[in-house]
Amino acid sequence: MPIVINGSGTVSGLAAGGISNSKAVASAAMPAGSVIQVLSVTQPGTDTTTSTSWVDTANMTLAITPQTDSKVLIQFCGSLGHTDNTFMQFRIARVKSGTTTYHGTASSGQNATMMSYTGSSDPTNQIYHQSFHHLDATPGGNGSTAITYKLQWKIDSNSMFLGRDDTGSANTYAGGNSWTLTEIRG
């Protein structure tokens, strides 16, 4: 059957799962493993915490509306500094319909996705590049409900910095910190 475009945006003659009226490939027609959407935020500045309890990092929050059966790949890349040789921890908080769940692997009784311990007794002017990725295989998307993913952090003692060293003198060498969500067709 020939493909017909009628001038008003309607296309006929396509097999099921072809191009939709919005002229975009319908996500249902995409094979498993296809990337549906990518959202990313880069924080060019810095953030600091002295919290020994989990708190949100500044600007590392994104909301995505995944389709049914999609997966969400969560990626973080950042530069850290600290004032003491202590544990620096990160975790992923997922907020959906007002309910928060946490993702990652259990570590030392904590739900930390990433834990860093440099062991350096003198962290002066030191920047530690850290990254992790985590696949949320069952986000429970339905194509209309937004799901928010937040990067949270805490430190065992003293101060921890995102995007700079302990003195702030080497922040120009740190580069940006990024938080990325990729929706993958299940």
Distance between CA atoms of 104 and 68, rounded to whole angstroms?
22
pLDDT of residue 3: 63
The CATH code of the domain at 31-184 is: 2.60.120.760
pLDDT of residue 147: 97
Residue type, 106: A
Distance between CA atoms of 147 and 66, rounded to whole angstroms?
8
- What average pLDDT does the structure give for the chain? 80
Distance between CA atoms of 74 and 152, rounded to whole angstroms?
13
pLDDT of residue 176: 77
Distance between CA atoms of 162 and 173, rounded to whole angstroms?
12
pLDDT of residue 2: 63
Distance between CA atoms of 12 and 19, rounded to whole angstroms?
10
Residue 167 · residue 125 · CB < 8 Å: yes
Q: What is the largest CA-CA distance in the chain?
A: 73
Provide CATH 2.60.120.760 ranges for the chain.
31-184
Quote the pTM value. Answer: 0.78
For 73, the 3-state DSSP assignment is strand
Q: Token match 């909301």: residue?
A: 63
